[in-house]
Structure 1
């Protein structure tokens, strides 16, 4: 008897896209012999839902002044963004093979002057939220209704510049600004694992009540499972509904797992970056793509 899939067709489609993005991530990094793995994998579901269901964008006109903006503040996770941009149609998927090459449009960190669909050059951690707040404030002053979204990592929010913007954004009533925290529980270098930590190192913000902190600074907070499509889409819709009417910015605290989606990368700090072996690539392909082929969902 064939098992009945009770997930909605929409969720199945998103899951297929996210699996393909994850395969591009691990395969591209292995081919290019450079890049990051854990952070792009933890963010893949959040990015897929954002680009395929939420952002008002047009890949054929990436510079449309009325488009929604997205900033990947944790710029070292660029291959995750590029994989989703390719799937969304900003450039051919085959171009991912040029990742981090000297003459490529797809550098190791996002470059807004090179890559279609990239709204801000990032890489120095902590700066993306400030740029996003500037875009949101400009939209208010110009009476534009586009929404600015920013993604940061949980290790990244140790940067002081993040908190300067957290303090100031509510004062400017930036309800057209949404911050997504990819709370994946690990950073490249961290304290030894302690009681209550999810993975093999201490969580950068695992012992902080982030919801209470952000509420104290005047933000609307939403806490979700960052690998659950229904929770992701509902949070995005809620944040978007607040645009232009709520008077305060929104933060989505997305609880994710570093390296999610591949058995040997999930929940281990050593896969912050790394080059998969041939055997590991075969395993990743079987977990991400081969199952889709068996289900007839590859598209």
Structure 2
């Protein structure tokens, strides 16, 4: 088996930097969705620093892998990953959600290199990713398409239409990762509209299904980096909303929230 310990260590280092920087951005902007940023950080870091093929100097290179951030409100984690990957300088992060900034509250591919699709209205990212994967299948292209969704987002019917299409077409070049933190704006997903049994639902649509610890970078790297196997792949990543900061973890109120100066200082002490 290939020794991936150095890669996992690099992913973890980047994930730590991303959490710290994203929270500083939210504090400065007095806007953001840090709970969902933090539940998804290890997933996004694993993709950008262990799985995806890309060239930050050539962001539209035809053979690049595609990543669609369907939970488009989680821009803190997306923008820090793109910055760390070399798409733009760190100074841009200081403009987060400021007037005239390229770093909007939702990602815009017209403004930022590395953004594949404008997202924000939930339920759009997976259908877009299915279209990208179909194009790759028709062209015989080698690129793979990855899409990250929230679990509350699974209550949108457009996702299940897209899942049915992908299963029917056996889009082995497509992977969806569901950030399964079990919280959405206001309350738990199961109190809003029950999603369980989620693995069985994806399997019924013809997908190969995996359940992983969404904060275990070694597990994520193994599953997300595996070769295609003839079917689209659904990775249900069990995560903790607000992961890494004690007062945020598993708290629905941090779906969107802004830290005080004291809370930011505490977070910086805990995120080490």
Give the TM-score of the pair, scaled to structure 2. 0.95
Counterpart CA distance in 2 for 1:206 and 1:12 is 36
Cα displacement (A) at 1:157: 0.6
| Unmatched 5+ stretches in structure 1 | 1-6, 192-200, 292-299
What pairs up with 1:48-63 in 2 under 5 angstroms? 48-63=45-60
Counterpart CA distance in 2 for 1:109 and 1:174 is 27
Aligned twin of 1:198? none
Cα displacement (A) at 1:202: 4.6
Change (3 A) 1:154 1:207: closer
Aligned twin of 2:236? 253
CA deviations over 1:192-234 (Å, ceiling 9, x no partner):
xxxxxxxxx8566776111111111100001100001111111
Aligned twin of 2:124? 127
Aligned twin of 1:219? 207
Cα displacement (A) at 1:13: 2.5
| 1:236 aligned to which of 203, 218, 224 | 224
Over 6 Å off, 4+ runs? none
Aligned twin of 2:269? 286
Q: Secondary structure at the match of 1:75?
A: coil
What pairs up with 1:1-299 in 2 under 5 angstroms? 8-190=5-187, 202=190, 208-238=196-226, 241-242=227-228, 246-288=229-271, 291=272
Range 53-62 or range 94-103, more displaced: 94-103
Change (3 A) 1:204 1:166: farther
Q: Secondary structure at the match of 2:179?
A: strand
- Give the number of the structure whose alpha-carbon radius of gyration is greater: 1
Cα displacement (A) at 1:66: 1.0
Give the TM-score of the pair, scaled to structure 1. 0.86
